[in-house]
């Protein structure tokens, strides 16, 4: 007799809000196949054993987009449970240092202004990132 686990798997994800010199943010569209396919997201990925959040974000961005970034200030940590997965998103402001972003492991990439993020469809957990970004910018105005 096999037991089923009533709890979805949990992944800790390092997430980058990558800014360029024009104060635009890099987002990418998930590949159409798979869970949440076709939705836009802030790039990042799963933390590997023994890795810091900053190391994870830098590695994932290099693998997924082919660029080097500087990981900066922590923006927000989000715990969200989908029906199939529980995620903890560790979100950091980042700055593009070197390279031109390429859609290596995503369908498409786009530089957008903060005010334009609402025009894109994101996974539910990412909505809190957008709200935190808007709140943090308000504090500086």
Instruction: Tell me which residue of 102, 104, 106, 92 sits closest to 30, measured CA to CA.
Output: 106
Residue with tokens 């800790």: 12
Sequence ranges of the binding site for 8-oxo-dGTP: 30, 41-44, 126
Cα torsion through 103, 106, 108, 112, rounded to 10: -90
**pTM exceeds 0.85, yes or no:** yes
Sequence ranges of the binding site: 30, 41-44, 64, 126
Sequence ranges of the binding site for Mg(2+): 44, 64
pLDDT per residue as tens digits for the range 27-80: 999 999 887 889 999 999 999 999 999 999 999 999 999 999 999 999 999 999
Mind listing the domains of the chain with CATH numbers? 10-139 (3.90.79.10)
Angstrom distance (rounded) from CA 93 to CA 70? 9
What does the pLDDT read at residue 64? 96
Angstrom distance (rounded) from CA 24 to CA 36? 24
Dihedral pair phi/psi, residue 95, rounded to 5°: -130, 135
């Amino acid at each position: 007799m096999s037991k089923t686990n009533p709890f979805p798997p949990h992944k800790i994800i390092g997430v980058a809000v990558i800014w360029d010199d024009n104060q635009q943010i890099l987002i990418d569209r998930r590949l159409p196949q798979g869970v949440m396919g076709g939705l836009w997201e802030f790039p990042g990925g799963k933390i590997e054993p023994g890795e810091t959040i900053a190391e994870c974000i830098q590695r994932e961005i290099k693998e997924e987009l082919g660029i080097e970034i500087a990981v900066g200030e922590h923006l927000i940590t989000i715990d969200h449970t989908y029906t199939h997965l529980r995620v903890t998103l560790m979100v950091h402001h980042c700055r593009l240092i070197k390279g031109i972003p390429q859609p290596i492991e995503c369908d498409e990439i786009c530089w957008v202004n903060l005010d334009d993020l609402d025009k894109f469809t994101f996974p539910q957990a990412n909505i809190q990132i957008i709200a935190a970004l808007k709140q943090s910018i308000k504090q500086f105005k």
